[in-house]
Amino acid sequence: MMPYPVLRLLLAGALLPIGAHAQVAPAPPFPLGTYAYTAYTVHDTTSTDPPTVVQGVGGTLTLNADGTYAKRLSIAGNNGPMLFRQDGTFTLTGDSIRFAFRDQKGADVQRGTFRFDAAARRLRITILGYPTGNRGVYELLATSPAPAVPAPKARKPRRR
């Protein structure tokens, strides 16, 4: 019998089958949940015109913990709003984001990058376009309140 209970626990954990060890998914680099579209800018490298700031952008992007998403984007048009509905899966790797979905043409994928400003709760997603160099930049704002962060515990003064 081992005299050290901690050592016994460590050895017992090491002897478990590999599948029995808990696997923890890495935390996403920004809070998952619902974001509201606040701006959309199109960068077209085939034109000498400055980037186009699209007017009348609205809607939401919901990113779920199970890797699914729901995009509900609306853009004001001359004949009323243009509505874009897209459901699929997303993956995050470093600062890259990939959206996979099906539309009328079949399976499709959009790739890009993201940047999250925690203080402002803003998410910027840049989707790469065609030809190379073209891109769409979406600005989003978290719609749910920030998750509660526990306050640091007050330290008790030491007695001497």
CATH code for the domain in which residue 74 is found: 2.40.128.20
Quick check: is 2 in a domain?
Answer: no
Beta bridge partners of 124: 115, 139
Would you call 146 helix, strand, or coil by DSSP?
coil
Number of domains in the chain: 1
Instruction: Please write the tens of the pLDDT for every residue from 102-126.
Output: 999 999 999 999 999 999 999 999 9
Beta strands (DSSP E) in the chain are 33-43, 52-54, 57-63, 68-75, 82-93, 96-103, 106-117, 122-128, 135-142
**Residue 91: domain span:** 33-142
Per this entry, what is the length of the chain? Answer: 160
Neighbours of 46 (CB within 10 A): 8
Quick check: is 104 in a domain?
Answer: yes
pTM of the predicted protein model: 0.74
Confidence of residue 131 (pLDDT cuts 50, 70, 90): confident
